[in-house]
């Protein structure tokens, strides 16, 4: 007998590489190429380090209120956490305690099955169709919960809102999590449905469209009862999840609607241009509604292209998983960064 | 059938009040009255908000290295999290998966039973002796793990290192967590024992002796195998727990040994003086080795004194729990703050 016998042994999620060297074009973790809103830059200069000696507000009021204001919901509809990963992990722990399997696609955010394993939640991965689209009827059977990323990652494909609503409506007895990490780039959200369906949790993040990946802020919307359950678990795990800079700077980041809309639209414009260029170079992909393109080349292998780019100081993301091993997930950077990517691809493919 | 049936229902921990008004002497959550190290103040001024657009380093290298350097251990002996609450919660989840009960005192940090309930871990609360001391023989029987806060909270009492070692040695088949949140004020740590016992996890925090409660940084030491298991669970929960300010400023805070020693010694001096004053006013308490005193008055009820202080803008902490309802936990603030406290107590008691 040893203490090791009682260890919860898990196979952890592998995050994308965060290289420590400079002069790299980093298109591997879907970060935003633009800086955070100007008010964040300004407030950081005036932040009072002495205030760090006190605990932060455990209710995260300033941030919750700013999010509620922006989205025109009540504060009691909002939950915040240390990135959407923290929010999703707590949601899995809070809502998925059935003997029936939680359902999510086989190709989706690869943390879902890791959380299910961590919390010993039964789950079933449902194959996407060959074009990487979701067949919603696959989510109508008996289950312990449903998780859909919309737009999906790493495919970039977006389900119409009506289809997502149909999944929520057909599953009144379980919680349906809609992970909208990339929804700002697709222009659609099921947020308005939280008043209609008490089993809906909508999860979003500051890491992509808000340029704050380094600050670790995620948030979720749901009916008040559902958010209350999530808050209870949060307060049973860690009273103070969000530190002072996250609370203060996060609340400022979300207030600047004009900057947010401008930078999102810049990324969307770059994405649409890059799509055309990639198609011209022989890449195929589902229509992306995110800040990345998940593309496969008609002739060259994913590994070859990945290695060539890496050797040229451009990092994209790829997985060795069966159905997607020829694909590359390429984040949308600035126009200048994407020009260099395209030029390098032309060199290699042309 | 409703989704509510599968909710993990918990009774959350209640953190101490964080009042939003100013002009309050806040002695209720054991915060440090002195600002963080000067290098933190300086680095905050020069922090680059643009860097927030990228994810932080998931391995938390800069912080882990600074902690390893300060304590002269290897990086692989160090784990960091979002406050020691996050570290402890992950440790409970990682190491306490036995059918036998985890043991901890009845009067101790009141988050332990909350985590046990959250993760459905069987546990047994062992009564402290009447003088609030731990009888170590109570922890020698069959169990699923042991958790000892040393010095203990909210009692402030410290077990000798030899006694803690005896508990660790008698429990080779389970993990023994020694929660040393307040150890810097008592001058003793079991950290040197991590090389001798592979079942020992020592947990500390930046929230008390490091003046960084608002930054949410906790850390733990253990043998490399034990830390690796903890890291696996962390990476199965949230890849990026620590945000950029926490990593950068935390690493600077820990490097300034002179400032740390100076402020800790100021607090210890104030504590020793306050103890004398409190005794003179008719308070009784176990000898505190922390930055608080857990005191009971010979005549007046805890509630009465608490209410009087609260009405005079001084917040201390008290619980309505059976064995400690007459006690007040009074954090050690600056000399000026403690002078006002003593003056108010004299007014009330005198």
CA distance B7 to B25: 40
Tell me whether residues A3 and B199 touch, CB distance under 8 A. yes
CATH architecture of the domain formed by A38-256: 3-Layer(aba) Sandwich (3.40)
Tell me the shortest Cα–Cα distance from A85 to chain B, in angstroms: 5
Residue B294 β-bridge partners: B329
A236–B117 CB contact, under 8 Å: yes
Burial class (CB in 10 A: 0-12, 13-18, 19+), A315: buried
At B226 the pLDDT is 98
B244, A214 contact by CB (below 8 A) = yes
Predicted local confidence at residue B1, as pLDDT: 75
Identify all chain B residues contacting A239, using CB atoms and an 8 Å cutoff: 13, 15, 85
Give me the pLDDT at residue A20, please.
77
Contact between A186 and A289 under an 8 Å Cβ cutoff? The reply is yes
Which architecture does CATH list for B38-255? Answer: 3-Layer(aba) Sandwich (3.40)
Nearest to A243 among B53, B98, B214 (CB): B214
Q: Are A79 and A232 in contact (CB under 8 A)?
A: no
Q: What is the CATH number of domain B17-36+258-349?
A: 3.90.1150.10
What was the pLDDT predicted at A133?
A: 96
Q: Is B146 on the interface with A (CB under 8 A)?
A: no
* C-alpha to C-alpha distance for B225 and A66, rounded to whole angstroms: 43
Q: What is the pLDDT of residues A51-71, one digit of tens each?
A: 999 999 999 999 999 999 999
Q: From the CA atom positions of chain A, what is the Rg in Å? A: 20
Over the stretch B205-259, which tens digit does the pLDDT of each residue have? 999 999 999 999 999 999 999 999 999 999 999 999 999 999 999 999 999 999 9
Question: How does pLDDT run across B297-324, given as a tens digit for each residue?
Answer: 999 999 999 999 999 999 999 999 889 9
Taking the Cβ of residue A145 and every Cβ of chain B, the question of whether any pair is shorter than 8 Å is answered with: yes
Burial A231-251 (b: 16+ CB within 10 A, else e): bbbbbbbbbbbbbbbbbbbbb
In sequence order, what DSSP letters do the residues of A169-186 get, joined into one string? HH-TTS-EEEE-TTGGGT
Q: State the count of interchain CB pairs (< 8 A) between A and B.
A: 276
ipTM above 0.90, yes or no: yes
Decide: residue B57, CB within 10 A, 0-12 exposed, 13-18 middle, 19+ buried. Answer: middle
| Residues in chain B where the model's pLDDT stays below 70 | none
Task: Name the segment(s) of chain B with CATH classification 3.90.1150.10.
Answer: 17-36+258-349
Question: What pLDDT was estimated at residue A1?
Answer: 75
Q: Closest by alpha carbon to A98, among A144, A142, A147, A146?
A: A144
Task: Please confirm whether the linkage preceding A271 is cis (ω < 30° from 0).
Answer: no
Supply the pLDDT for residue B19. 84
- Of the candidates B3, B58, B245, which has its C-beta nearest A175's C-beta? B3
Q: Rounded CA gap, B246 and B81, in Å? A: 10
Q: How many Cα atoms sit within 13 Å of A62 on the Cβ side?
A: 15
**Option in B50, B56, B82 nearest A35 (CB):** B50
Asked if A45 is an interface residue toward chain B (Cβ–Cβ < 8 A), one would say: yes
pLDDT for residue A14 is more than 90: no
Q: In the numeric block, which tokens belong to residue A323?
A: 């159905």
HEC secondary structure over A247-316? HHHHHHHHHCHHHHHHHHHHHHHHHHHHHHHHHHCCEEECCCCCCEEEEEECCCCHHHHHHHHHHCCEEC
What is the number of other CB atoms lying within 10 angstroms of the CB of residue A37?
Answer: 24
Q: Which residues of A touch B89 (CB under 8 A)?
A: 237-238
What residues of chain B lie within 8 A of the CB of A3, using their CB?
95, 172-175, 198-199
CATH 3.40.640.10 intervals, chain B:
38-255
Please report the residues numbered 225 through 264 in chain A whose beta carbons come closer than 8 angstroms to any beta carbon of chain B.
225, 229, 231-246, 249
- Report chain A residues whose CB lies below 8 A from the CB of B121: none
Q: Do residue A12 and residue B212 have CB atoms under 8 angstroms apart?
A: no
**Chain A residue numbers touching B229 (CB-CB < 8 A):** 4, 7, 9
Residues of chain A with CATH 3.40.640.10: 38-256
CATH architecture of the domain formed by A11-36+258-349: Alpha-Beta Complex (3.90)
| A55–B207 CB contact, under 8 Å | yes
Residues of chain A with CATH 3.90.1150.10: 11-36+258-349
């Amino acid at each position: 007998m040893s203490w090791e016998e009682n260890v919860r042994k898990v196979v952890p999620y592998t995050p994308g590489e965060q290289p420590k060297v400079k002069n790299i074009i980093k298109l591997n973790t879907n970060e935003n190429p633009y800086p955070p809103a100007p008010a964040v830059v300004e407030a950081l200069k005036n932040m009072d380090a002495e205030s760090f000696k006190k605990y932060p507000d455990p209710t995260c009021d300033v941030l919750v209120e700013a999010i509620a204001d922006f989205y025109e919901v009540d504060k009691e509809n909002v939950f915040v956490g240390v990135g959407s990963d923290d929010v999703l992990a707590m949601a899995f722990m809070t809502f998925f305690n059935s003997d029936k399997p939680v359902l999510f696609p086989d190709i989706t955010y690869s943390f879902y099955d890791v959380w299910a394993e961590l919390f010993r939640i039964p789950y079933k991965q449902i194959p996407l169709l060959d074009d990487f689209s979701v067949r919603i009827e696959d989510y109508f059977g008996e289950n312990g919960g449903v998780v859909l990323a919309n737009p999906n990652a790493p495919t970039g494909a977006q389900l119409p809102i009506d289809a997502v609503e149909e999944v929520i409506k057909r599953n009144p007895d379980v919680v349906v999590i809609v992970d909208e990490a990339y929804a700002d780039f697709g222009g659609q959200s099921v947020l308005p449905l939280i008043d209609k369906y008490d089993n809906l949790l909508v999860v979003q993040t500051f890491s992509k469209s808000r340029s704050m990946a380094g600050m670790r802020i995620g948030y979720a919307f749901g009916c008040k009862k559902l958010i209350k359950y999530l808050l209870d678990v949060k307060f049973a795990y860690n009273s103070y999840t969000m530190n002072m800079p996250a609370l203060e700077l996060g609340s400022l980041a979300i207030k600047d609607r004009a900057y947010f809309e401008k930078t999102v639209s810049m990324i969307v414009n770059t994405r649409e241009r890059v799509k055309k260029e990639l198609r011209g170079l022989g890449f195929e992909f589902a229509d992306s509604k995110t800040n990345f393109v998940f593309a496969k080349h008609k002739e060259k292998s994913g590994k070859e292209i990945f290695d060539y780019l890496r050797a040229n100081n451009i990092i994209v993301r790829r997985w060795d998983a069966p159905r997607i091993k020829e694909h590359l997930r390429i984040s949308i950077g600035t126009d200048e960064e994407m020009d260099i990517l395209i030029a390098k691809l032309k060199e290699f493919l042309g």
